[in-house]
Structure 1
Amino acid sequence: MAVGTKTTASRILDTHKIHYTLHDYEWNEEEMDAVTVAEKVGILPSHLFKTLVLKGDKTGILMACVPGDKELDLKSLAAVSSNKKVEMVPVKDLQALTGYIRGGVSPLGVKKRYPLYIDDSIRDLDPVSISAGRRGTQIFVRGADLVLVCEATLGPIAR
């Protein structure tokens, strides 16, 4: 079903019998932005979804996935997630909260289950690319399958 070394995220897809492929790429600290990663794995930046970790003033920690060629709209995410305000968590807190490090945060296999919000542009995309849970590996999967497995809420959260 997949090529490459399995990750926690890919094993979760296996458990749900979801088809995906793994794509490895050379990475370095200066080139971890979504557009560069999309180019390295051969997918449009609009099909590569970056995973962000935030804190809402009412709900606490939550996660969001937005296309690599867009930015997260904090006001829209706040509205969709029933918060007045959301803000990014400090990079130094990522591993403690998710089990992942910057550049390797996946919406799958997070240490603790947080509410996940994905930009609604994912709905009909096939494939989309997400982090496999480690730097240098991306998962390609159908957008609808990712939403289903993650039990994500869709909304217009990117601009």
Structure 2
Amino acid sequence: MSRLTQVAAATPALRVLGLAGIEYSVHEYEHDPRARRYGGEAAEKLGVEPDRVFKTLHILVDAEPVTALVPVSGQLDLKALASAAGGKKATLAGVAEAERRTGYVTGGMSPFGQRAATPVYIDDSVTEHHSVFISAGRRGLEIEMRPHDLLMLTNASVARIAQLD
């Protein structure tokens, strides 16, 4: 079994992408267990602009779970997400709840292959790039793919949901 095949078999996210038949690349780096800004670490170690690396967040909008993707160069705007989702209030789910619902650890959450499907919202800056990076399902493993494919596979709604630095 090749290294890539072993990696692909390692996460539900990569299994989903493998079945989808789209083009993507897998990038692996040595995760520093002391790192707390996982997306920033990924951008730095991969030598990629932080606005091309999107973090996956598990959010509750009016107590209903949704997935939000925003560039690591900014922060999620909870009010904008609530509005985009047709709700009144958005809050970040707790770490334990997010990990239980998605099946992924914090810093390794992917919008693909979660335990339960949720609506996905992606910041509209995603369309400014020829390719973007998202977690492949574990810390130290990123997927590079075209924004169009990300939007299609997640059936995402696109809205300005990030406050960019």
What interval of TM-score do these two structures reach, taking the shorter chain for normalisation?
over 0.9
Match of 1:157 in 2: 161
Match of 2:50 in 1: 45
Q: Percent identity?
A: 38
TM-score normalised according to structure 1 size: 0.93
Task: Name the aligned partner's letter for residue 29 of structure 2.
Answer: Y
User: Does 2:20 align with 1:10?
Assistant: no
Contact 1:45 1:69 in 2 (8 A): yes
| 1:35-71 superposed Cα distances (whole Å, 9 cap, x missing partner) | 221011121100000000011116x011100001000
TM-score normalised according to structure 2 size: 0.90
**Deviation above 3 Å: which 4+ runs of structure 1?**
none
| 1:60-92 superposed Cα distances (whole Å, 9 cap, x missing partner) | 011100001000001100100011000001111
Return the offset for 1:96.
1.1
User: Does 2:142 align with 1:138?
Assistant: yes
Task: Name the aligned partner's letter for residue 100 of structure 1.
Answer: Y
Return the offset for 1:32.
4.2
Task: Name the aligned partner's letter for residue 48 of structure 2.
Answer: I
Q: State the alpha-carbon separation in 2 of the partners of residues 158 and 138 from structure 1.
A: 21
Range with greater deviation from structure 2 (118-127 or 98-107): 118-127
CA gap of 1:14–1:124, structure 2 versus 1, over 3 A, is farther
Number of residue equivalences:
157
Task: Name the aligned partner's letter for residue 35 of structure 2.
Answer: E
User: Does 2:123 align with 1:119?
Assistant: yes
Q: State the alpha-carbon separation in 2 of the partners of residues 104 and 76 from structure 1.
A: 24
Q: State the alpha-carbon separation in 2 of the partners of residues 30 and 82 from structure 1.
A: 37
Q: State the alpha-carbon separation in 2 of the partners of residues 124 and 150 from structure 1.
A: 18
Match of 1:98 in 2: 102
Structure with greater helix share of residues: 2
